[in-house]
Structure 1
Amino acid sequence: MIRPRIRPTVAVVLVYTAAMCMNGLDSTIVNPALFTIAGDFGRPLSAANTVETAFLIALALALPVAGWAGDRFGTKRVFLGALAVFTLASAGCGLSQDLPSLVAARAVQGLAGGLLTPVGMTLLFRTFPPHRRASLAKVLIVPTALMPALGPPLGGFLTAHLSWHWLFFVNVPIGTAAVLLGVVGLREHREEDPGAFDRTGFLLATPALGLLTYALGFGPSQGWSTPGVAISAVLGTGLLIATVVHQLRAPEPLLKLRLLADRVYGAASALAAVTAAGLMGVLFVFPLLYQAALGATALDAGLIVFPEAVGLMLASQVVDRLMPRLGPRLLTVPALVLAAGVFALLAVPQVSAQEWAVRALMFLIGLVLGTAVLTVQIAGFEGIAPPDMGHAMGLFTIVRTLGGALGIAACAAVIGGDAHSAADAGPYRVAICVTAGLVALGALVGLRLPSEAPAPPDFDDEAPTEPEPLAGGTTEEGQPVRG
């Protein structure tokens, strides 16, 4: 039987992009449909919000085990399994006839989505050697920037012209095609000795992330003193501290926190946290300011920040050309300084009142901050050994996710619970300045990045680019696998 030959590098890029686009869209596409979903099921909007609550908490619960699961069961198997479950759960969401079934299917989506991102990035970084990873910027940026930005307008369009069920049905053909392509084209990688499963670490880290995600996500809207939010915050923080203590002492930890001692990876992880906090914070607070200062609608406020995604897309086209010439440090630090200045300009009343100026500044945020973020994401893993790549990706994703949630929570705390008029928009502007300070702090951390781009590996390290076994037991050249 003749099977189609697909280059593993091509297959992993296509499958990863399809899966992450689905995951990225689903993080925001449901938001504009929550009111319609609540009306269809005859439930209040607060009850419909559990659709997003279930997704976010379930996603956080899956993150701690992603690295170990990929090493133990194989990155291909775990990634395609998670993608298949995500696709089936999407169909389940679309077929739901009541709110409990929709929430349950959405939670399954979140669990699968929590595995997709770190395991998918592990697949990418194990396929491409360090000196070729700059070219991945074009791949990484689409699901992380464009898809979440397209989510709200696409969700509103599908809900208005078809039905909210199609928010989930669109995933089914894409996910099915991606799974089939992955079965044929992806290489399997499994660590020979992934270590014993850290049950104590799992029992500490999983509820810690779930509780903190709940508190940070719903504290701003429900109030930090609300019993559920306050208890979640206290318990989550306590469990997080216990997790850190245990992970540093455990001989085979679930989360290898010692990886943060690596100068470059540690700096990259810290940068991921502060830049995610700054970016998510400004994208949260500025639409509120825009509505308060100019009386814009929620749709206008959402569209005004869309040029940020366009800037990110452009940044992805230049990072691979600039990094070999400038190096990670020189490419990151000036970009973060410039981004902090652009953030601060958004807090100036005369600037925020001008639509053209805001769109231009949002585009610049995407361009300069995107350049820094992509550089950090690619260069940060240069010194990570292949056996640790899965754990490093999982930890990096957790740090970035918590950083974004903290940024939103910090801005919400500065704004307070009351709406502010155009004459009293000061809290919004202060919150934007906070995000500018976070990005400026990132510039200081960026000084720890290497000054030179990753060099091509020695010949002996080029194993990933040699003819590789594909499904069906043949190499890329069509020769049978022996032994």
Structure 2
Amino acid sequence: MTGEASAPAAAPPATAGRAGSTLIVVLVYTAAMCMNGLDSTIVNPALLTIADDFDQPAVAANTVEIAFLVALVAALPVAGRLSDRFGTKRIFLGSLAVFTVASAACGLSRDLVSLVLARVVQGLAGGLLTPVGMTILFTAFAPHERMRLAKWLIVPTALMPALGPPLGGFLTEHLSWHWLFLVNVPIGTAAVLLGVFGLREHRAGAVGPFDRAGFLLTTPTLGLLTYALGFGPSQGWSSPPIAISGLLGLGLLVAAIVHQLRVPEPLLRLRLLADRTFGAAGALALLTSAGLMGVLFVFPLLYQAALGASALDAGLGVFPEAIGLMFASQVVDRLLPRLGPRLLTAPALLLAALVFAALALPGVAEHAWAVRVLMFCVGLILGTAVLTVQIAGFGDIGPPELGHAMALFTIVRTLGGSLGIAAGAAVIEAGGGSSGHDTSAPGPYRAAIWVTAVLVALGALCALRLPREAPAAPPFDDEAGPEAELPSPAGASMPG
């Protein structure tokens, strides 16, 4: 497009074309991430039913979730490399197609072994979808345009995982557990077809040799640590599988970090963390994910074990957190340009830590509506900080590094969540809440919630490294023309 003037009543063709292409990017990304987000939680209520159908013990059905989570994390390190080599469109749509086919295979499984194998394939594809999908989304929008992405980022990251358990229970009770997976098939098929015609290919450029040693070190490291941190609370930290996985994972982690920092073309570009803004965003992702996942793990236990509430009551008490996140997505794009990342994030994290601490106060958890209001505030306040970090943290990352930065950010955030759950379980166990004689004592559970509050408060220190100002539009951009419009969640366009 040239710099020539055009009639004010009509949008220039290049602008209109870009608005249409960005709408397709957003729709395909949202569909894929909603599928991935649902599958991380939708199976939980059906595990006992699956075990009964296959005439297996309940503990054996847990491998359905273990296989998915471990495979998902193990695939993350290669996401950036594959995007550079084959292009983001090809990897994203290929992963989405494999995820859809694997979902169909899960729904058609007739024994536990075939179901677990299909979940492994589904997890591997899902591990590529998140970072590559984020790369496509962030590549389609300049840094100053990304503030309005909050409305879309929050749907798969907050609402879908929260809807997973109730939707899974409904489908299992009224249809069959097979539909937990088959529901993905029409959505995935439509998203692939739309993406084939609407997504644009993007490659980072020249690609160096593949870091085989980094792959052999990093992939098992993430799998072992995810397994140990995720299932240590339920299986016991001293059980041989958990202890061996944890120790071996830590040893490989040290070796992987040393290797990644030495080689010129590492699988994971840890040197990106040296960037002031992205490094702060990575630390914040670790701490906020640890705090949020930790409190979502601990508080239902306090609600049930110590206060005698039912599992349904505990779920209803926590669910307003997802609603708060949805509200946060509506205000971030308005507050971020005015306050800037630093001033918006640091106070929000301190306020969120106070809300966490309030959940642990004696007498608060006994009042259902007080719990629901506080959980809504957790989602609203902490969600504002998390979305700000997710958008502003990539402002200084150029397109050649964006795929690697997304993969690294996703890994840190995922491990942070597992770490928060593990920390909460460790505090409860140390206080006798899980193995002691008096499991109804609320003290250990409240102490664990205080730990999650401290983790979130520590994030405020990291937030001081974020920039003061939000990304601004370039003063002149004759090549791109007028700023393209970002579609609103209703499908219409928002003014630029």
Corresponding residue number in structure 1 for 2:50: 37
Return the offset for 1:422: 7.6
Q: Give the Cα–Cα distance (whole angstroms) in 1 for the partners of residues 376 and 148 of structure 2.
A: 22
Contact between 2:342 and 2:463, CA under 8 Å: does it hold in 1?
yes
1:68 matched to 2:81? The reply is: yes
- What's the CA shift string for 1:378-423, capped at 9, x where partnerless? 0000011110000000000000000000000000111113278685
| Corresponding position of 1:110 | 123
Deviation at 1:196, TM superposition (A): 1.6
User: Could you say which residue in structure 2 is the equivalent of 1:258?
Assistant: 271
Write the letter of the residue equivalent to 1:448: R
Q: SS of 2:464's equivalent?
A: helix
CA distance in 2, matches of 1:424, 1:291: 11
Residue 470 (structure 2) pairs with residue 444 (structure 1): no
- Matched letter for residue 456 of structure 2: V
Assess if the C-alpha contact under 8 Å between 1:292 and 1:420 holds in 2.
no
Q: What is the letter of the counterpart of residue 237 of structure 1?
A: L
Q: CA deviation at 1:194?
A: 2.3
- Superposition deviation, residue 461 in structure 1: 8.7
Change (3 A) 1:320 1:182: same
TM-score (norm 2): 0.91
Map 1:214-253 onto structure 2 (within 5 A): 214-253=227-266
- Structure-1 separation of matches of 2:399 and 2:478: 11
- Corresponding residue for residue 201 of structure 1: 214
The change in CA–CA distance for 1:464 and 1:342 in structure 2 (over 3 A counts) is: farther
2:20 counterpart of 1:7: yes
TM superposition shift of 1:192: 2.0
| Residue 287 of structure 1: aligned partner | 300
Shift of residue 191 of structure 1? 2.1
- SS at 1:418 equivalent: coil
Deviation, 1:445, is: 0.8
CA–CA distance in structure 1, aligned partners of residues 340 and 272 of structure 2: 22
Contact 1:309 1:363 in 2 (8 A): yes
Within the alignment, does 1:331 sit opposite 2:348 as a pair? no
Amino acid aligned to 1:210? G
Equivalenced residue count is 464
Letter of the 2:451 partner, please give it.
Answer: V
Distance 1:461 1:105, change over 3 A: farther
2:204 and 2:399 in contact (8 A); partners too: no
Equivalent position SS for 2:101: helix
Report if the CA contact (8 A) 1:129-1:464 is conserved. no
1:350 partner SS: coil
Q: 1:39 to 1:419 in 2, by over 3 A?
A: farther
**1:349 aligned partner, one-letter code:** P
Cα distance, 1:197 vs. partner? 1.0
Q: 1:273 aligns with which of 277, 286, 294?
A: 286
- Out of 105, 110, 114, the position equivalent to 1:101 is 114
Moved more, 420-429 or 217-226: 420-429
User: Is 1:397 matched with 2:410?
Assistant: yes
Give the residue type in structure 2 aligned to 1:438: L
Indicate conservation of the 8 Å contact 2:154/2:326, yes or no: yes
Asked if residue 414 in structure 1 is aligned to residue 423 in structure 2, the reply is no
The CA deviation string for residues 131-184 of structure 1, in whole angstroms up to 9 with x for no partner, is 000000001000000000000000000000001000001100000000000001
- Cα distance in 2 between the residues matched to 1:459 and 1:177: 38
Offset from partner CA, 1:20-68 (integer Å, 9 cap, x none): 0000000000000000000000000110000000000100110000011
Kindly report the root-mean-square deviation, in angstroms, between the aligned alpha carbons of the 2 structures.
Answer: 1.6
Q: Which residue of 2 aligns with 1:367?
A: 380
Among 345, 362, 371, the residue aligned to 1:349: 362
Contact 1:5 1:185 (8 Å CA) reproduced:
no
Supply the distance in 2 between the matched residues of 1:177 and 1:465 (Cα, whole angstroms). Answer: 31
Relative to structure 1, is the Cα distance of residues 67 and 402 closer, same or farther in structure 2, using a 3 angstrom cutoff? same
How far 1:466 moved relative to its partner? 9.2
Q: Give the corresponding residue for 1:455.
A: 472
Unaligned 5+ residue runs, structure 1? 468-483
Runs of 4+ in 1 over 3 A off after TM superposition: 419-423, 458-467
Distance 1:322 1:208, change over 3 A: same
What one-letter code is carried by the residue in structure 2 that aligns with 1:65?
A: V
Give 3-state SS (helix, strand or coil) of 1:352's partner.
coil
Letter of the aligned partner of 1:454 in structure 2?
A: P
- Once residues 267 and 478 of structure 2 are traced to their aligned partners in structure 1, the CA distance between those partners, rounded to angstroms, is 28
Structure 1 residue 294 displacement after superposition: 2.8
Q: Is 1:428–2:474 an aligned residue pair? A: no
% identical aligned pairs? 76
What's 2:14 paired with? none
Measure the CA separation in 1 of the matches of 2:69 and 2:373.
Answer: 32
> 2:9 aligns to what?
none
Contact 2:307 2:440 in 1 (8 A): no
For 1:446, the aligned partner's letter is: A
Describe the shift of the 1:410–1:180 C-alpha distance in structure 2 as closer, same or farther (beyond 3 A): same
1:140 lines up with 2:153 in the alignment: yes
What does residue 201 of structure 2 align with?
188
Pick closer, same or farther for the CA change 1:41–1:422 going to 2, 3 Å: closer
What is the CA–CA distance in structure 2 between the aligned matches of 1:26 and 1:456, rounded to whole Å?
37
TM-score by length of 1: 0.94
Give the 3-state SS of the residue equivalent to 1:349 in structure 2: coil
Find the aligned partners of 1:269 and 1:153 in 2 and give their Cα distance.
32
Counterpart-to-counterpart distance in 2, 1:187 and 1:55: 29
Alpha-carbon separation, structure 1, partners of 2:454 and 2:184: 38
Amino acid at match of 1:299: L
Q: Residue 300 of structure 1 corresponds to which residue in structure 2?
A: 313
| Stretches of structure 2 lacking an aligned partner (at least 5 in a row) | 1-16, 485-496
**In structure 1, how many angstroms separate the alpha carbons of the residues matched to 2:482 and 2:92?**
21
Kept in 2, the 8 Å contact 1:347–1:430? The answer is: yes
Q: Check the 8 A contact 1:125/1:133 in 2, yes or no.
A: yes
Match of 1:121 in 2: 134
Instruction: Tell me which residue corresponds to 2:4.
Output: none
Q: Distance in 2 between matches of 1:231 and 1:349?
A: 38
CA separation of 1:265 and 1:429: change in aligned 2, threshold 3 A: same
